[in-house]
Each structure stands twice: as C-alpha cells, then as structure tokens.
Amino acid sequence: MDKQTIGIIGAGKLGTTLARLGTQRGFTINIGSRHSVQDLKWVIDTMAPGAVTMSTPDVIKHSDIIILAIPLSHYRDLDPAALAGKIVLDATNYWKEVDGTVNTISSMKESSSEVIQAYLQDSLVAKAFNHMGYHDIEIEVDRHPEVRRAMAYATDHDEIRPVVEAVLTQFGFDPLDLGPLRFGLYLEPGSPLFGEAIPRAEFVDKINRIYSTPFGAKILSERGQQVV
Ligand SMILES: NC(=O)c1ccc[n+]([C@@H]2O[C@H](COP(=O)([O-])OP(=O)(O)OC[C@H]3O[C@@H](n4cnc5c(N)ncnc54)[C@H](OP(=O)(O)O)[C@@H]3O)[C@@H](O)[C@H]2O)c1
C-alpha cells in the first residue's frame, strides 16, 4: 500500500513525536495546532524536520489520514464537516490532569473514541496510538526491531482496517486488532494495557486476563457485563 499523507492535529508531546517518526519513515506529514503557522513552524522544523506546518483546516484539507493528538476535552473544537469522509486515528485519552478530575465525556459504558466517532459521524474513526507513552513510541520502535511492540487499535469500519494496519506497521509497530471501537475501552487510562509497550503475545495475554484485574472488575460493576 502506498504511503498516504498523514495530517496531525495537535503539536505537543505526542503530535511532534508521531510527526518525527512519520517523516523518518518516509511519510509526508502535515501538522498543525492552535498556534499560528509562523509560531509553530520553528518548533516543527526543530522537533520534526521535514514535517510541514499548516493551519489545522489546511492539515485536514491536504491529508488523507488524520491523527488526533489534542486533549480529549477539546474535541468539540474539531469541525465534523471538514473531517467528513476522512480516516481519523483518534489518539486522545481522558487525562484528568488536563481534562479535569471528573470525566464527563466518556465512561466504562462508552469508550472515548465512541464519543469521538459519534461527534465525527461522517468520518471513519479508529482508536490508535493511545496505550503507549510518547517516549516509548519513539524509543521502543528502534530498540526491538526483531520483536515489534504491539500497537492495538479498534474501529467500527472494517474497510479501513488494512489502512490502519499499514500505517501502524510502517510506523514500526505490530498492529493488533481489538475489533469494534467499544473494545477501545481496554486501551484507556486505568486499564492494565495502558502504558504498555510489549510484544503481541504478552499484550494478548493481558487482554485475556483483563476481567480478573481491578479495571475489569470496574467494567463489570459499571456496565453490568463484559465488553462484548
Ligand atoms: N503524551 C503521551 O504520551 C500520549 C500518549 C498517547 C495518547 N496521548 C493523548 O494524545 C493527546 C495529546 O497528548 P500530548 O501529551 O501530546 O498533549 P500536549 O503535549 O498538551 O499537546 C496537545 C497539543 O494539542 C494542541 N491543541 C489543543 N487544542 C487544539 C485544537 N482545538 N486544535 C488544534 N490543536 C489543539 C495544543 O496546542 P496549544 O499549545 O495551543 O495548547 C498542543 O499542541 C491527549 O489526548 C493525550 O491523552 C498522549
């Protein structure tokens, strides 16, 4: 599969890391944030040489695949019409230090990426790049070239699975399909999978044991059932 142009919305720790990794791996990367192009460009030229700084509307317009790397609580700043028809890789997580101590966006009954998909109703959303810290995303790729680290993803759109898998593979990871978006809950803060940069077999083993952990018990008590 040809490398498609990737647009990153959000130019903080995760956005600049993915921009750097992507350009190093031959992707055309467009990136934007709330800052003016002029203010952001020197940061991107330093942090992710080769990535193209644009306004957020231009990032959306000129990119095939969009990665969301903004605070989850800012998702309503996104323009659903502009993102209609785009593949959107939702890397956002509810992070109470940033998004507020009480999560009024997502819950054990609805993963945050389901909320994003409902908001971006005409986009093809996949949850991806969520469970690994930005430092691990960069370091672990090159540290274990022989045993790639699992990068789990979830989506309700079967037709984009090959594209998502190609992107994750080309970024240097072993893509692990969790199924529909609701299983993205397994990747969110509080889950034993959150923060993991481990090979596929270990990751799958942890998924299989998730309902014997406190996080799994919380899913059961709040949903009344497993994610099925
Ligand atoms: N850090 C990680 O290791 C990691 C790993 C996986 C997932 N995530 C998730 O990825 C997201 C980004 O995390 P981060 O650590 O990179 O945060 P960060 O360092 O605070 O960066 C957030 C970026 O988003 C920009 N932004 C905020 N609102 C925006 C909007 N409406 N439109 C365009 N850009 C906007 C910010 O611009 P300003 O400078 O104007 O605020 C900033 O460039 C979060 O949801 C986080 O939970 C983070």
For residue 131, which atom of ligand 1 is closest to its CA? 6
Q: For position 216, what pLDDT does the model report? A: 98
Who lines ligand 1 at CB under 6 A? 9-15, 33-35, 56, 69-72, 74, 77, 91-93, 95, 129-130, 133-134
Q: Quick: pLDDT tens for 130-146.
A: 999 999 999 888 788 88
Separation of CA 26 and ligand 1 centre (Å): 23
Percentage of the chain exceeding pLDDT 70: 100
Q: Quick: pLDDT tens for 148-186.
A: 999 999 999 999 999 999 999 999 999 999 999 999 999
Token pair, residue 165, equals 């898998």
Is pTM beyond 0.95? Reply is: yes
Q: For position 142, what pLDDT does the model report? A: 78
pLDDT classification of 1: cutoffs 50, 70, 90 = low
The highest-level CATH class for domain 6-223 is alpha beta
Domain ranges of the chain: 6-223
Separation of CA 155 and ligand 1 centre (Å): 21
Separation of CA 223 and ligand 1 centre (Å): 29
Is the confidence at residue 97, as pLDDT, over 80? yes
Residue nearest to atom 47 of ligand 1 (CA): 93
For residue 35, which atom of ligand 1 is closest to its CA? 40
Q: Quick: pLDDT tens for 189-201.
A: 999 999 999 999 9
CA distance 94 to 167: 24
Separation of CA 226 and ligand 1 centre (Å): 30
Per this entry, what is the length of the chain?
228
Q: Reduce the secondary structure of 185-222 to three states and give it as a string.
A: HHHCCCCCCCCCCCEHHHHHHHHHCHHHCHHHHHHHHH
Residue nearest to atom 36 of ligand 1 (CA): 10
CA distance 180 to 204: 16
DSSP reduced 3-state for 164: helix
Q: Cα separations (Å) of 128 from 84, 114, 138, 193?
A: 19, 13, 15, 13
Separation of CA 64 and ligand 1 centre (Å): 20
- What is the enclosing helix (H) or strand (E) of 83? helix 80-83
Judge whether 156 and 177 are in contact, CB under 8 Å.
Answer: no
